[in-house]
Amino acid sequence: MQHWIQGSVKRVLSSSSIESKLAILADAAKYDASCASSGSKRKSSGGLGSTEGMGICHSYTPDGRCVSLLKILLTNVCIFDCQYCVNRVSSNTPRARLSVEEVVRLTMDFYRRNYIEGLFLSSGIIRSSDYTMSQLVEVAETLRTRESFRGYIHLKTIPGANEELIERAGLFADRLSVNVELPTITDLKTLAPEKKRDEIEDTMGRIHVRREETAGDQKKGMKAPKFAPAGQSTQMIVGATQTSDRDILDTSSHLYRTHRLRRVYYSAFSPIPHADSRLPGTAPPLLREHRLYQADWLIRFYGFDANELTTPDQANLSLDLDPKHAWALANREVFPIDVNRASRELLLRVPGVGERGVKRILSTRRYHAIRDEDLAKLGIVYRRARPFLITSDRHPGPLSIDSLDLKQKTETKQRQLMLFDAMGSAQNGQV
């Protein structure tokens, strides 16, 4: 990403000062994972570009980060001292700051040359929440109103910024995100005492209310302007503290339920130079991030409750097995289930059966009973699903489901593949 940006800047701008600022600020922004640019429709009426159809294509770095956006910080100067962050006030990292006009110019230059489809803009805290937020909003407002920019805009929203600034941010940005940063209030108090969970959630709550109000007005046929049409998201850092996956998923569920977030992004902690001794010296395994995305997917789309996927004794997700597979092995009394009679909800709990497979099962069994040989044709991972399913011509029997080697029998062989799975997990946690 860094290399790509530097090459592009050379073609776009002659100013070496902008180039060096951008090198610092694009690098500083790479720690923010919450930038998937999906789910927004903004009509193109004479302006430049579009977020729809061919106008927007997602491309991701191997670790799942979106690269189709110009992803930068306005500045990495920050008055806060969050211990896990390289931009904290006590860090001696090189600093830079772009002006509103410089960000607007860069975005338009890159956009006109088709290098980017949009902008992801965040910032360290300069002076105060309101001052920082006003700068971010000014960039978005200038792009939309003066430059008629119709590409995607994701604005980081600063917790505690005033109502009027959030209102304007939602009018000009497609997506807003407020970072919850760490999974628990205790974690925040320990590593980022200037950040308050109440303030973070209050800002999320205000965005949620405004989105609901706008949707309500539109339902009544009123011509209300859109407010953050791609919704709001957040990012949680994983592995900076000892907090378990159980607590992380509990926080995510709470945020989805209470503030109707579109996504929670999980970002594995990256060790930083001269870090506080309370921080770990190594990053957590990438697979942990991937498992959290899979569990998150199960909670959002497969009807699982966060607490079902771990137990108080086993509070972290298994790294060996995907969370649905691990749940099925721990709850064998539920299986085997009859593929010709089971409800959609139960079928979704079978390892190796995804949403698409369930859809196919439901439509096929309306016409004929599903036999063992049909399973693979329905897009089901046969080897994994077989011991958990009864078909019209086969019953696996109690001995099969209780066998001690069921884990080995149903495990995915290609462990290496999990690395490739992990690449796409920020977009798709399907299991």
Binding mask 345-384 for ligand SF4 (x = CB under 6 A): ----------------------------------------
Distance CA 131, CA 137 (A): 10
The order of strands in the sheet holding 152-156 is 69-73, 118-122, 152-156, 175-177, 232-238, 263-268
Helix-helix angle 2-12:16-29, to 10 degrees: 150
Nearer to ligand SF4, 36 or 125 (CB): 125
d(CA 315, CA 247): 8
CB 169 within 8 A of CB 155: yes
Cα 208 from Cα 360, distance rounded (Å): 35
Nearer to ligand SF4, 51 or 83 (CB): 83
Size of the site for ligand SF4 (CB under 6 A): 9
Are residues 155 and 140 in contact, defined by beta-carbon separation less than 8 angstroms?
A: yes
The verdict on 88 binding ligand SF4 (CB under 6 A) reads: yes
Q: With binding defined as CB under 6 A, does residue 228 bind ligand SF4?
A: no
Residue number, 82 or 348, with CB nearest to ligand SF4: 82
Site pattern 390..429 for ligand SF4 (x: CB under 6 A)? ----------------------------------------
H-assigned helices in 113-244: 129-141, 163-172, 185-191, 197-219
Token representation of residue 18: 């902008």
Least spacing, CB of residue 275 vs ligand SF4, in Å: 13
Residue 125 engages ligand SF4 in binding (rule: CB under 6 A): yes
The binder of ligand SF4 chosen from 34, 37, 87, 142 (CB under 6 A): 87
Closest contact distance (angstroms) between CB of 192 and ligand SF4 is: 6
User: Of the two residues 227 and 265, which places its CB atom closer to ligand SF4 in the complex?
Assistant: 265
Q: Is 124 in the site for ligand SF4 (CB under 6 A)?
A: yes
The span from the CA of 23 to the CA of 60, in Å, is 19
Residues in 188-227 that interact with ligand SF4 by CB under 6 A: 192
Q: Indicate whether 26 belongs to the interface with ligand SF4 (CB under 6 A).
A: no
| Minimum distance of ligand SF4 from residue 242's CB (angstroms) | 20
In three-state secondary structure terms, 20 is: helix
> Minimal distance in Å, beta carbon 95 to ligand SF4?
11
Distance CA 20, CA 9 (A): 10
Q: Which residues bind ligand SF4 (CB under 6 A)?
A: 78, 80, 82, 85, 87-88, 124-125, 192
